[in-house]
Amino acid sequence: MPNVLFAALPPRWLQYEPPLRAALDAAGIKAHVATDIPPEEVDYIIYAPNSGLTDFTPYTRAKAVLNLWAGVEDVVTNATLTQPLARMVDHGLTQGMVEWVTGHVLRHHLGMDSHIQGQDGLWRTEVPPLAADRPITVLGLGALGTACAQALAGLGFPVTGWSRSAKDFSGITCLNGDAGLDLALETAQILVLLLPLTGATDNLLNAERLERLPRGAFVVNPGRGPLIDDEALLAALDSGQVAHATLDVFRIEPLPVEHPYWAHPNVTVTPHIASETRARTASEVIVENIRRGEAGEPFVHLVDRANGY
């Protein structure tokens, strides 16, 4: 019977214990799951990077570390982590991201803010273009980026997707590499950022690249805060190069009350809610990897340490 250590903040254990046990039962796996197993007896670690566990050296028997988060930038460079690391790819998380991105893209496309905020007696007659006339670019074609790009394409938007390596998805214009990034930005009336955070993507959206956007573009970032050069974005907002930015992620969270994003009239701040890992569906993903480990099958959603995701 495998021993499974749940290494996360205490409130998460209250959330996850019932669905984890239910998922194990459904898979026919008998396992000991707890928050206080001696390191040398642990077979699997269910892990949140903010748990306080930073030294994996004592976990000599562990077959895998199963991340509760989609992002792994806070753990992938840990030199003590020699066990296989799997990131969270969860259909509940993906669906939540699709709903958030689609909602805010449509909000900007339709110009809903002017009507929601402008209940002042003015009869505003501006009519938005149809989706077919509003090109959208999604930076990042991993599981989340691809799902969002496909959902937007399904609504009739012409969608360009960009990734570091070549991808090919029906209904999406797929670009890659530095030259492809320039082309992807030049058509992006609405830009959605869903890249992982790596050394290559930190400050990816800098002043030079913001200038490549069509004037008056919208920026939507539910990916990672450091993908954007904050000072460059504020300058682009002030000049009108970017019409509005909707931001869900930030370099420091919670976003400090004195940060200029809060007071800027053309910035919408949401509190890192674009997509939350759902305990029920995430438990099913975790248990599938435990099942695979016990059956001697390859783990899914393994992190490529060289790429950082």
Does residue 307 sit within a domain? no
Predicted local confidence at residue 120, as pLDDT: 82
Predicted local confidence at residue 121, as pLDDT: 85
DSSP result, 101-138: HHHHHHHHHHTHHHHHS--SS------PPPGGGS-EEE
Secondary structure class of 292 (helix, strand, coil): helix
Q: Is there a single domain that holds both residue 147 and residue 21?
A: no
Does residue 307 have a pLDDT over 90? no
Does residue 67 have a pLDDT over 90? yes
Q: 269: buried, middle or exposed (CB in 10 Å: 19+, 13-18, 0-12)?
A: middle
Amino acid at 194: L
Cis peptide, bond prior to residue 11, ω within 30 of zero: no
Print the domain residue range for 200.
Answer: 91-269
Does residue 309 sit within a domain? no
**Considering the chain, what is the average pLDDT of its residues?**
96
Q: Is there a single domain that holds both residue 24 and residue 122?
A: no
User: What average pLDDT does the segment 31-59 reach?
Assistant: 98
Q: Is there a single domain that holds both residue 189 and residue 282?
A: no
Count of domains observed in the chain: 2
Q: Is there a single domain that holds both residue 134 and residue 205?
A: yes
Predicted local confidence at residue 290, as pLDDT: 98
Q: pLDDT for 187-240, tens place per residue?
A: 999 999 999 999 999 999 999 999 999 999 999 999 999 999 999 999 999 999
Does residue 240 sit within a domain? yes
Predicted local confidence at residue 117, as pLDDT: 82
What is the C-alpha to C-alpha distance for residues 123 and 181, in angstroms, rounded to an integer? Answer: 40
Q: pLDDT for 113-168, tens place per residue?
A: 998 887 788 888 889 999 999 999 999 999 999 999 999 999 999 999 999 999 99
Q: Is there a single domain that holds both residue 119 and residue 78?
A: no
Q: Is there a single domain that holds both residue 40 and residue 163?
A: no
Does residue 292 have a pLDDT over 80? yes
Predicted local confidence at residue 69, as pLDDT: 93
Predicted local confidence at residue 277, as pLDDT: 86
Does residue 229 sit within a domain? yes
Left (φ > 0), alpha (ψ -120 to 50) or beta: where does 177 sit?
left
Does residue 120 sit within a domain? yes
**Beta strands 85-86; 64-67: pairing state:** parallel
Q: Is there a single domain that holds both residue 183 and residue 126?
A: yes
Smallest Cα–Cα separation from 162: which of 223, 111, 218? 223
Q: Is there a single domain that holds both residue 174 and residue 101?
A: yes
Q: Is there a single domain that holds both residue 104 and residue 245?
A: yes
Residue 228's CATH number: 3.40.50.720
Predicted local confidence at residue 302, as pLDDT: 97
Does residue 304 sit within a domain? no
Q: Is there a single domain that holds both residue 86 and residue 138?
A: no
Q: Is there a single domain that holds both residue 230 and residue 149?
A: yes
Q: Is there a single domain that holds both residue 104 and residue 249?
A: yes
Active-site residue numbers?
A: 224, 272
Whether 159 and 136 have beta carbons less than 8 Å apart is answered as yes
Q: Would you place residue 283 in the very low, low, confident or very high pLDDT band (cuts 50, 70, 90)?
A: very high
Does residue 308 sit within a domain? no
Does residue 276 have a pLDDT over 90? no
Alpha carbon of 178 to those of 21, 22, 204, 257: distances in Å?
Answer: 46, 46, 11, 36
Does residue 205 sit within a domain? yes
